[in-house]
Amino acid sequence: MDAANATGEAPMGPDTVLDLAGVACTFGDRGVLGGIDLTLAQGDFAFLTGPSGSGKTTLLRLLHGSLPWQEGRGMIAGHDLAAVTPAGLYRLRRDVSMVFQDFRILPDRSVFDNVALPLLVRGMERARLRHRVRAALLALELADDAERSCAELPGGGQQRVAIARAVVAGPKIMLADEPTGNLDAALSVKVLSILRQFAVHGTAVLMATHDRELMAGVPDARVFTLPGREGAA
């Protein structure tokens, strides 16, 4: 098990998609992250863990550009996080996708429309868009639900929609923030298996979780542990 601020880093190389060194973040006078070093290569599957309040969500939000960069070196999918501007954020998110615990899908829209959203934002040609979305739906076993409203799906189905939306654009790295936190054990294992398959096909995956049993089911995964910090978020 690797400490995220100590050992177990992969060597830098042409397939490196995440390289963090000395990353720190504070909210007011509260230190949330301090001295975080972490690297991932193409196709890596890794867990990000640590006690409640250790800053797992904060770190993922930094990597997704949802929080302003404060201190340290942060390179993700070829983007310098310290130099990303609000106007350039869409370029970062072409290569870095996020799966949220609360899904963040549009419940009144169809499964197809939810998954197509990242491609619509890019202005992708319609025939190509349909092909990409159908492929993602097939991979997530959602093809038969394409025209259903997301509100009609159970929690596990909605989470698969969120994952399909995250991968449809072919990101270089996927960040997953407790994606199984609202699911039962059987669905959690299924979602984990889906994420692992994307890593097998070359997308690096960094998944935050506190579920030790789930982590034990992937003995070959890398594990980065954030130390607990008083007052962290």
Average pLDDT over residues 65-79: 94
Average pLDDT over residues 177-201: 89
Band of the pLDDT at 231, cuts 50, 70, 90? very low
pLDDT of residue 4: 58
Question: 2-16, 86-100, 113-127, 163-177: lowest mean pLDDT where?
Answer: 2-16
pLDDT: is 42 or 227 the higher one? Answer: 42
**pLDDT of 90 higher than 90:** no
Could you give the domains of the chain? 2-225 (3.40.50.300)
**pLDDT of 94 higher than 50:** yes
Average pLDDT over residues 82-103: 90
pLDDT tens for each residue of 202-230: 999 999 999 999 999 999 999 999 987 54
pLDDT tens for each residue of 115-142: 999 999 889 999 999 999 999 999 899 9
Q: What percent of the chain has pLDDT over 70?
A: 92
Band of the pLDDT at 187, cuts 50, 70, 90? confident
Residue owning tokens 């189905």: 157
| Mean pLDDT score of the chain | 89
pLDDT of residue 14: 67
Q: Does this model's pTM top 0.95?
A: no
